[in-house]
């Protein structure tokens, strides 16, 4: 078992986002990352028998998988995200799971999913065959809270693996299989343990995020409107996003820009920037273009042209 490390800091600043995408697709085919061109990110990983364990560090970004294509061949694997620092939101099967430091969520590798990643973010990623969960009802895109003992044990075990700095000749195959079996057994315990209630506010988190996604095209979407429609205090809405290290306004802007980037990257996009701006809740094309360039360092037209060249 060897521990590998890679980082965007090894390439020129203007090439970092392209390198991060290349690296992401190497580990996870069909994946794309939207982030500033000069993003600072790193990936530490190792393979333990039939599972892959990694620690990802990144600035604010959006990760999508299978949004522009379909799996060429089913991998039938499960991905586990365990938050170390920052916040991330997993979107899959029509659900949204916001996880904070110590929380865990699951997603399925062969179905489209999306991750919204906060600044100064660090997460453990465990990639394992679904057959290892035979007979287990895996709660995809749902939070397994940090107050479950098994969740904390997975966190501590994986962190300790990376502290060892093992190499190929330092771990017998039998020991490697034992570690793999222990990780999977703990993950199953995370799924099975229903002794602890979800942490306060988790239901409101999902409702608020789902509401924003549904009405993202409404330019009048504001904290007060969200609070009124969902019958929750405006302060509660603000607290949800404060825990994510952002604000409702900043989150909605980032969400709109991410959706715009996805549309511009699609090979069948033939609309105008004005139409796209209005569809995503921007007041006009000029406002949309300014915000888009500030986020991606390219105008919408330049971004679309670059995406065509890379297809």
Specify the range with the lowest mean pLDDT, choosing from 111-125, 126-140, 148-162, 258-272. Answer: 258-272
Question: Is-contact 113 107, C-beta < 8 A?
Answer: yes
Do 4-192 and 202-310 fold alike per CATH?
Answer: no
Q: Where are the alpha helices (DSSP H) in the chain?
A: 16-27, 149-164, 173-192, 202-214, 223-230, 234-243, 248-265, 273-279, 285-296, 300-310
What is the three-class DSSP state of 97?
Answer: strand
Q: Residue 10 corresponds to which tokens in the numbers above?
A: 């090894």
CB atoms closer than 10 angstroms to residue 249:
12
CA separation, residue 20 to residues 31, 85, 118, 256 (Å): 11, 20, 16, 22
Ranges of each domain in the chain: 4-192, 202-310
Bridge partner list, 96 = 91
Buried b (16+ CB within 10 A) or exposed e, 263-285: bbbeeeeeeebeebbbebbbeeb
CA separation, residue 215 to residues 196, 210, 236, 243, 280 (Å): 33, 9, 19, 22, 9
Question: What is the average pLDDT score of the chain?
Answer: 88
What DSSP string describes 215-252?
TTT-TT--HHHHHHHHT--HHHHHHHHHHTTS-HHHHH
Q: Residue 72 corresponds to which tokens in the numbers above?
A: 């060429």
Return the CATH class of domain 4-192. mainly beta
pLDDT band of residue 197 (cuts 50, 70, 90) is: very low
Residue 224 has pLDDT above 70, yes or no: yes
The C-alpha atoms of residue 224 and residue 237 are separated, in whole angstroms, by 9
For the segment 259-285, what is each residue's pLDDT rounded down to a tens digit? 898 888 887 788 889 989 988 999 899
- Give the orientation angle of helix 248-265 with respect to helix 202-214, to 10 degrees: 50
CATH number of 202-310: 1.10.10.60
236 burial via Cβ count (<10 Å: 0-12, 13-18, 19+): middle
Q: Residue 218 corresponds to which tokens in the numbers above?
A: 């409404």
Q: Could you write out the three-class secondary structure of 44-95?
A: EEEEECCEEEEEEEECCEEEEECCCCCCCCCCCEEEEEEEEECCEEEEECCE
Residue 153 has pLDDT above 80, yes or no: yes
The C-alpha atoms of residue 303 and residue 311 are separated, in whole angstroms, by 13
Long-range contact pairs involving 17-24 (C-beta distance under 8 Å, separation at least 24): 24/63
The C-alpha atoms of residue 2 and residue 274 are separated, in whole angstroms, by 51
Residue 175 has pLDDT above 80, yes or no: yes
pLDDT band of residue 182 (cuts 50, 70, 90) is: very high
For the segment 2-17, what is each residue's pLDDT rounded down to a tens digit? 888 999 999 999 999 9
Sign of CA dihedral 100, 102, 106, 107: positive
DSSP class of residue 101 equals T
Task: State the pLDDT at residue 201.
Answer: 53
More confident residue, 170 or 221: 221
């Amino acid at each position: 078992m060897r521990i590998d490390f890679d980082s965007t800091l090894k390439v020129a600043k203007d090439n970092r986002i392209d390198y991060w995408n290349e690296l992401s697709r190497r580990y996870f085919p069909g994946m794309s990352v939207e982030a500033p061109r000069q993003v600072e990110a790193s990936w530490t990983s190792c393979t333990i028998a039939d599972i892959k364990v990694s620690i990802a560090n990144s600035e604010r970004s959006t990760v999508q998988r299978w949004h522009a294509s379909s799996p060429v061949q089913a991998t039938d694997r499960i991905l586990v995200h365990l938050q170390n620092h920052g916040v991330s939101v997993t979107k899959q099967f029509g659900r949204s799971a916001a996880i904070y430091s110590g929380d865990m969520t699951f997603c399925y590798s062969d179905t489209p999913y999306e991750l919204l990643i906060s600044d100064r973010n660090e997460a453990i990623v465990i990639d394992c065959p679904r057959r290892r969960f035979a007979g287990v009802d895996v709660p995809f895109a749902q939070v397994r809270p940090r107050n479950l003992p098994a969740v904390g044990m997975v966190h501590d075990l994986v962190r300790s693996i990376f502290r060892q700095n093992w190499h190929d000749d330092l771990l017998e195959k039998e020991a490697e299989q034992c570690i793999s079996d222990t990780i999977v057994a703990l993950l199953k315990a995370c799924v099975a343990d229903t002794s602890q209630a979800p942490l306060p506010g988790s239901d409101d988190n999902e409702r608020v995020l789902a509401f924003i996604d549904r009405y993202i095209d409404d330019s009048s979407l504001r904290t007060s409107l969200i609070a009124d429609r969902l019958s929750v205090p405006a302060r509660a809405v603000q607290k949800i996003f404060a825990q994510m290290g952002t604000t409702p306004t900043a989150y909605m802007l980032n969400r709109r820009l991410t959706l715009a980037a996805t549309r511009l990257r699609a090979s069948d996009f033939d609309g105008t920037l004005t139409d796209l701006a209005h569809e995503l809740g921007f007041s006009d094309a000029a406002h949309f273009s300014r915000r888009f360039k500030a986020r991606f360092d390219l105008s919408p037209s330049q971004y679309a042209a670059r995406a065509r060249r890379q297809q």
